[in-house]
Amino acid sequence: GKEKWPRGEEKVWKDAMRDVDTEVTSITKSFVNHVQTSLARQPYNLDNLGAYQAAALSVRDNLLVNWNETALQYTRKAPKRAYYLSLEFLMGRTLDNALLNLGLKDQYSEGVKKLGFSVEDILDQERDAALGNGGLGRLAACYLDSSASQELPVWGYGLRYKYGIFQQLISPAGDQLEAPDPWLDNQNPWELPRLDVSYEIRFYGQAERLGDGTPRATWSGGQEVLAVAYDVMIPGCYTKTTNNLRLWESKPKRGFDLNSFNAGNYEGAVEASNSAAAITSVLYPNDHTTFGKELRLKQQYFWTAASLADILRRFKNIGKPITEFPDYVAIQLNDTHPTLAIPELMRILIDEEDQPWSTAWQIVTNTFFYTNHTVLPEALEKWPVPLMEHLLPRHMQIIYDINLLFLQSVEKKFPGDRDRLGRMSLIEEGFPKQVRMAYLACIGSRKVNGVAELHSDLVKTTILKDFVEFEGISKFGNVTNGSELTPRRWLDQCNPELSSLISSTLKVDKAVWLKDLTRLEALLPFTEDEAFRKEWAAIKQRNKERLAHHVQTTLGFTINTNAMFDVQIKRLHEYKRQTLNILGVIHRYLTLKNMSAAEKKKVNPRVVFFAGKAAPAYYIAKLTIRLIVNVARIINEDPDTKDLLQLYFLPDYSVSLAEVLIPASDISQHISTAGTEASGTSNMKFCLNGGLLLGTVDGANIEIAEEVGESNVFFFGHLTPAVEDLRYQHTYHPTPIEEKCPALANVLNQVSAGLFGDAHVYEPLLNTIRQGDHYLLSDDFDSYIAALAMVDEAYLDQTEWVKKSIRTTAKMGKFSSDRAINEYAESYWNIEAQKIA
């Protein structure tokens, strides 16, 4: 409402169309053109949203040229391609990234300025495309960006959810509330509907084996819905290559339920069409938990079936025999969510292509690759057999057949080992029986990988141990995520000043080092250059002020920018131990309260930031948010401490918020119980931006420390091999917390006593620690507090701190998603870069 317009001068707008063509004037022309035609708005009378739309459409024109060229060359040359199947793509905003990748940011800034707009305000109009929950979804987005930047023929396949991840609100009491995310309401200039690309997808019905000595069957009846393609352009950085992300939308089939219609049940027929549209209506907001909902299984089949049909059609255009399918196609399964692709490809090959079973299985097991992202038992997908039989009767038959042949081969290798057969069966016994999707993904794939060294070792020694013994170790590998951080978005785009300092210091154009992040290592000698250090520190300071400004304008809080900024931002989960962090904050608060004025003088002020969403049904995680918010309320108002300790929970964490938070962090926390965080990926982004790491010996933290040196990170806590034993002790020989960890007991008792209000409310949360303590807070609390003290002490020596910061950035080369995607391309998919002329 505060926006003022018309903007700029009418004459400038009118003259714009008559200007001689330069790079900038052709931009203003195309902008004005889109205002008048695509948007049908009056020029010189436009708000920021309209300006965003016009700019986006104009940039899109540029992308489309490259996108068409890329598609054409892939079709002509028919190289082997890879497909990344992911139920989540957490893309964030597109315009800024597209401008940077096209190398047109400065020109557009100038162009829109002439017409009276600021490019920052325009960029700020864009809504995040938040079709994901957290790390897994952001990783997929980074991999698409890197594939295009490395000129690799890779397409993504996902779902076009009408509603992305929910918007998080915090109630007056401090509870998380969820609101829908209608991200498409303003229209989405980055997608192209492909009404000509659609497939019919069947559910339910009957499967009948032909019984003619072949493995064939027919599948008929049930419900049929349409999958319609929407294409999203994925531009590479400083290259013409522009790949595609194809998202499927569900629609009723025309003439859908004619039976109801003919029976005079018109509303009934419309109802059924609603049920078709429901399939892609919403992203499931659970992370690391499965709920066994029929609609979720429908999403998974709908998406994998449409994607496979599309991939197969493209392959058939090449005119090669079906047995050569794996020479032209590699399909990466992002977690077990797309595992139904395995029985679906078997069904197509057997029932529709009339291939013998062994040929079909040969093709399948040379096509798929499976990435595991967690070893937490509650996150491993299992689907009830009765549900599968009902929804996908033919696939259930195929899974039984795969299982029978598989167990026969296990029996052959380990004769008489009944336990082993039970452990390895694709079907878990019980009421109901369940299909173990990770096992199906494993045996149906060419290679299986974890996402960091430690995690990949755990996959091999825990959840897939029997499969390693049976299939051999060489099938199981590691590709350290190194990803999730796309250097361009995370360094150049959200930290432009640091980026130009690096270019000028290294005397290397950013076009070079942004595409070869190992170049950053050349920064190391500059740790001894005082002027460089000063500039480095000044940039961090400005990023902190930018964050403070953002918080001031959006939430109204005034943040002390002379403090150390301490950040933990990630999904709320017990294994990630936000609870350990908030209990540490309370410990610090209580300690400060007991200090004399003289003692306090020596304390460095600290601001602690939290952000992250909890799954709507995850009670303990939501209670943690409530505790954080209420602790913040008390300590931020306490005159004894508020200059030395502030605490903020920033609502509605998103990719865009991360882009402001990450460059402003002095220290970030990655404090999962050892062995639980597969990799973590924000840890890499913080470090790339010169923030130091406080963490456990877990996931990619370990490899980060190997790169930057242990003296530049702050590690604490028990190691992975100790965890099992500690848990055993908790269960069978529990020690009272008062005895084991008095400092923690004191903090828990203060919360129980109502120091932060709501005396009784937090008991269920506190009891997770007092009883069982599955995530070992009582074992790690003391060493956590000691590590925090070491951070404080290190921060007092600013010269050394800045050196550590520079060293950290300098050694982040390994964690570029370019490196990760090249590993997949070379060692797994066997695909090659394609130069787009």
Chain residues that interact with ligand Z15, rule: CB under 6 A = 133-136, 139, 287-288, 335, 373-374, 379, 451, 481, 677-681, 699
Residue among 571, 626, 670, 718 flagged as catalytic: 571
Residue among 587, 685, 807, 819 flagged as catalytic: 685
Q: Please give the helix or strand (H or E) that residue 56 lies within, else none.
A: helix 48-77
Q: Which residues contact 189 (CB under 8 A, 6 or more apart)?
A: 53, 56, 57, 60
**Closer residue to ligand Z15, CB minimum distance, 134 or 487:** 134
Number of other CB atoms surrounding residue 75 within 10 Å: 11
- At residue 551, φ and ψ (nearest 5 deg) are -65, -40
CB of 583 to ligand Z15, least distance (A): 22
How many angstroms separate the CA atoms of 57 and 734, rounded?
Answer: 63
Sign of the torsion angle spanned by Cα atoms 609, 613, 618, 619? positive
**Closer residue to ligand Z15, CB minimum distance, 375 or 788:** 375
Residue type, 595: M
CA distances from 528 to 523, 560, 588, 799, 813 (A): 10, 29, 34, 10, 21
For residue 47, the Cα-to-chain-centroid distance in whole angstroms is 32
**Closer residue to ligand Z15, CB minimum distance, 37 or 461:** 461
Residue among 576, 622, 807, 811 flagged as catalytic: 576
CB of 46 to ligand Z15, least distance (A): 39
Told to judge if 576 belongs to the known catalytic residues of this protein, a careful annotator would answer: yes
CB of 807 to ligand Z15, least distance (A): 23
Sign of the torsion angle spanned by Cα atoms 75, 77, 78, 81? negative
How many angstroms separate the CA atoms of 49 and 701, rounded?
Answer: 41
CB of 567 to ligand Z15, least distance (A): 17
CB of 702 to ligand Z15, least distance (A): 13
CA distances from 33 to 16, 59, 187, 602 (A): 10, 13, 18, 61
Told to judge if 382 belongs to the known catalytic residues of this protein, a careful annotator would answer: no
Q: Which residues contact 194 (CB under 8 A, 6 or more apart)?
A: 228, 229, 230, 231
What angle (nearest 5°) sits at the alpha carbon of residue 558, between those of residues 554 and 560? 130
What angle (nearest 5°) sits at the alpha carbon of residue 576, between those of residues 575 and 580? 100
Task: Find tokens 């042949």 and name the residue.
Answer: 405
CB of 287 to ligand Z15, least distance (A): 5
**Closer residue to ligand Z15, CB minimum distance, 326 or 680:** 680
Q: Name the token pair of 605.
A: 């002020």
Sign of the torsion angle spanned by Cα atoms 529, 535, 537, 543? negative
3-state SS record for 599-667? HHHCCCCEEEEEECCCCCCCHHHHHHHHHHHHHHHHHHHCCCCCCCEEEEECCCCCHHHHHHHHHHCCE
How many angstroms separate the CA atoms of 482 and 818, rounded?
Answer: 8
**Closer residue to ligand Z15, CB minimum distance, 373 or 622:** 373
CB of 562 to ligand Z15, least distance (A): 33
Residue among 288, 373, 460, 606 flagged as catalytic: 373
Task: Find tokens 């008390």 and name the residue.
Answer: 634
How many angstroms separate the CA atoms of 805 and 749, rounded?
Answer: 38
Q: Name the token pair of 84.
A: 């990344």
CB of 772 to ligand Z15, least distance (A): 22
CA distances from 39 to 45, 481, 567, 625 (A): 12, 41, 41, 42
Cβ atoms of 130 and 170 within 8 Å: the answer is: no
Residue among 304, 681, 696, 808 flagged as catalytic: 681
| Most distant CA pair in the chain, distance | 91
* Interhelix angle 105-114/95-102, nearest 10 degrees: 120
Q: Name the token pair of 306.
A: 């449409």
- At residue 631, φ and ψ (nearest 5 deg) are -65, -45
CB of 31 to ligand Z15, least distance (A): 38
Told to judge if 251 belongs to the known catalytic residues of this protein, a careful annotator would answer: no
**Closer residue to ligand Z15, CB minimum distance, 30 or 374:** 374
**Closer residue to ligand Z15, CB minimum distance, 309 or 485:** 485
How many angstroms separate the CA atoms of 449 and 439, rounded?
Answer: 13
* Interhelix angle 699-708/453-461, nearest 10 degrees: 140
Told to judge if 373 belongs to the known catalytic residues of this protein, a careful annotator would answer: yes
**Closer residue to ligand Z15, CB minimum distance, 299 or 481:** 481
Q: Which residues contact 644 (CB under 8 A, 6 or more apart)?
A: 592, 600, 603, 605, 606
Residue among 138, 515, 570, 626 flagged as catalytic: 570
CB of 231 to ligand Z15, least distance (A): 25
Q: Is the peptide bond preceding residue 326 cis, with omega within 30 degrees of 0?
A: no
Told to judge if 507 belongs to the known catalytic residues of this protein, a careful annotator would answer: no
**Closer residue to ligand Z15, CB minimum distance, 231 or 287:** 287
How many angstroms separate the CA atoms of 459 and 473, rounded?
Answer: 11
How many angstroms separate the CA atoms of 708 and 680, rounded?
Answer: 17
Told to judge if 570 belongs to the known catalytic residues of this protein, a careful annotator would answer: yes
- At residue 823, φ and ψ (nearest 5 deg) are -65, -45
**Closer residue to ligand Z15, CB minimum distance, 233 or 379:** 379
How many angstroms separate the CA atoms of 275 and 298, rounded?
Answer: 11
List, by residue number, the catalytic residues.
373, 570-571, 576, 681, 685
